[in-house]
Amino acid sequence: MKSIYKNKRVVQFLEKHFPDSPISVWTDWKWHLQNSIHQIHYLSKFLILSDEEKSAFELSGFHLPFLISPYYLSLLCQKNDTPLRKTVIPVQSELIKTTIEKNDPLDEKLYSPVPNLVHRYPDRVLFLATDTCATYCRYCTRSHIVAKHTVHASNAEWKPAFDYIKNNPQIHDVLISGGDPLMMSDDKIDFLLSEIRKIKHIQLVRMGTKVPAVLPQRITKELVKILKKYQPFFMSLHFTHFDEITEESSFACKMLADAGIPLGSQTVLLKGVNDDILEMTKLMKALLTHRVKPYYLYQCDPIPGSSHFRTTVQKGLEIIEGMRGHITGYSIPHYVIDAPGGGGKIPLLPDYTTIHEDGSVTLRNYEGKIFKYPV
């Protein structure tokens, strides 16, 4: 990464909002956590809030607290109309709850045999390591459990989950999520990964995180050294919009990829944020050039107060079809709905085929041209 002294955004942001802090603090992830903004009277010093944003803070009843790191806030200050603003600053629409919305839309509690663990698929489990994040996304699927504690779960509190995995040899894959597991200390992450790797039937360990997008300074040499010990180890990175591709996030991805850690991306389809073919294409192409394979494009889950974020399913299909054939297939994610009620991820594809009674298939390509595949 280029010297932070040459990063105009960083220099201007610190000079204006943290004049007593040396520029060297920008690379310290713990400084960002200590200076995170979580109250309106602080936020209003950085941004001119709209009436809808102001009224949102004045009202009560939100299912998720407000929290944003100085790094991520610097992206909002640089570009006042960035779509990222909609994803992290609450608006009054969050108080509108429709009949289809649920606190736990995926019914993860029903599939939780022990605390901190969700076992929905036969051969894999979801390990919820913590409930804290560096920045809270307003569309968070687990908003009903995020930000409920001030400290991470203790090692002893994880023991029932370890024991459950040990006692179920059909489990071969552990996905660590939360909250964001990279909010834990290096020692705690090392302990968690080592305990999981001690279980002989575990073949693959994965981790889901938004840290490279919201707090890339957390990806340190020390952390990467720990993560690379536990290969095969995969990471799913949550990127939402091209504006999250910065010098800092690019360097974080480079460090992880250079360590031999396969990287995939997860993006949530959000109305007014990334529900546009050109914007989505721009993001997916950028991710691939940073060695992050676009993996999932999620339909927004029906959590309370999310109706202003949800697009139609048809919109998602249009975006996938609009990218197909115009960019490499490596850049096109799987468009999925995580089925309400615990049905799991179900892929959706545009209608490219017609199957006839004689068994032949009519195919439509990305240009709309028709081809026939014979019996």
Burial grade of 211 (CB within 10 A; 0-12, 13-18, 19 or more): buried
- The tokens of 225 are what? 């050294």
Write down the catalytic residue from 86, 120, 138, 218. Answer: 120
Question: What are 331's two structure tokens?
Answer: 């850049």
Q: Which of 28, 54, 97, 121 is catalytic?
A: 121
| Residue 140 annotated among the catalytic residues of the structure | yes
Element (H, E) at 208: strand 204-209
Catalytic residue among 131, 243, 275, 338: 338
Does residue 268 sit in helix, strand or coil?
Answer: strand
Please report where in the chains the tokens 């790191």 appear, as a residue: 69
338 carries an active-site annotation: yes
Residue 133's identity, in one-letter code, is C
Choice among 72, 85, 86, 124 that is catalytic: 124
DSSP 333: P
293: left (phi over 0), alpha (psi -120 to 50) or beta: beta
Selecting among 210, 301, 310, 335, the annotated active-site residue is 301
**Is position 77 annotated as part of the catalytic site?**
no
Task: Indicate which residue of 85, 86, 138, 142 is catalytic.
Answer: 142
Verify whether residue 120 is a known catalytic residue: yes
Any catalytic annotation for residue 142?
yes
Q: Which of 159, 166, 345, 364 is catalytic?
A: 345
Of 353, 367, 313, 337, residue with least CA distance to 141: 337
- Determine which one of 71, 85, 86, 140 is catalytic: 140
Q: Which of 133, 136, 188, 243 is catalytic?
A: 133
Active-site choice (86, 131, 137, 243): 137
Active site annotation includes 253? no
> Order of strands across the sheet with 124-128?
117-121, 124-128, 173-177, 204-209, 233-238, 263-269, 293-299, 334-339, 344-347
Residues 6+ apart with CB under 8 A from 324: 332, 350, 366
CA distance 28 to 217: 6
Decide if 45 is catalytic.
no
Q: Which tokens hold the place of 238?
A: 């949550």
Instruction: Decide if 312 contacts 353 (C-beta within 8 A).
Output: no
Q: Is 338 in contact with 345 (CB distance < 8 Å)?
A: yes
- In the annotation, is 364 catalytic? no
Residues with active-site annotation: 120-121, 124, 133, 137, 140, 142, 301, 338, 345
